[in-house]
């Protein structure tokens, strides 16, 4: 069974930085593409970024390109999301997701099989 546990969400001022972590069950990162997906208040989930299992270039949503970076370490079973130059609109629940099943491009939030419970990020102006 795949378990994903996010942490690191908190309140931060606009312009600041924050790093989220996701600890995965053993073998998860080695086996599947991993992603961060967020859901702003009152809006649908959107893909922040994906680290592909096949080694292709990571994908980032247009709204976070150049500001957010995804990294991972299989030995530590951890996926990270480094968020810089945070904006009010970056606020939301951030989810770790695994096993990208493809099917559409750009990737959609429905394209993942496993999900964590989420961690809340609040960016104040």
121: its two tokens? 């990020």
For position 102, what pLDDT does the model report? 84
For position 125, what pLDDT does the model report? 85
Residue 69 near residue 17, CB atoms below 8 Å: no
Signed CA dihedral, 110, 116, 120, 123: sign only: negative
Distance (Å, whole) CA 39 – CA 29: 23
For position 108, what pLDDT does the model report? 92
Distance (Å, whole) CA 63 – CA 67: 9
Nearest to 34 by CA among 67, 76, 4, 68: 4
For position 104, what pLDDT does the model report? 86
Q: How many helices and strands in the chain, by DSSP H and E? A: 1, 11
Q: What is the DSSP annotation of 48-77? A: EEEE-TT-PPPEE-TTTTTTEEEEEETTTT
| Residue-level pLDDT, tens digit, the chain, 125 residues | 899 999 999 999 999 999 999 999 999 999 999 999 999 999 999 999 999 998 899 999 999 999 999 999 999 999 999 999 999 999 999 999 999 998 788 999 999 999 999 999 999 98
For position 7, what pLDDT does the model report? 98
């Amino acid at each position: 069974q795949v378990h994903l546990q996010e942490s690191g969400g908190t309140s931060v001022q606009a312009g600041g930085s924050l790093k989220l972590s996701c600890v995965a069950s053993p073998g998860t990162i080695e086996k599947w593409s991993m992603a961060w997906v967020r859901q702003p208040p009152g809006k649908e989930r959107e893909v922040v970024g994906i680290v592909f299992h096949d080694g292709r270039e990571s994908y980032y949503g247009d709204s976070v390109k150049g500001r957010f970076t995804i990294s991972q370490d299989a030995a530590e079973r951890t996926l990270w999301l480094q968020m810089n130059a945070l904006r009010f609109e970056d606020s939301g629940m951030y989810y770790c997701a695994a096993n990208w099943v493809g099917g559409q491009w750009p990737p959609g939030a429905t394209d993942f099989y496993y999900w964590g419970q989420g961690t809340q990020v609040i960016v104040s102006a």
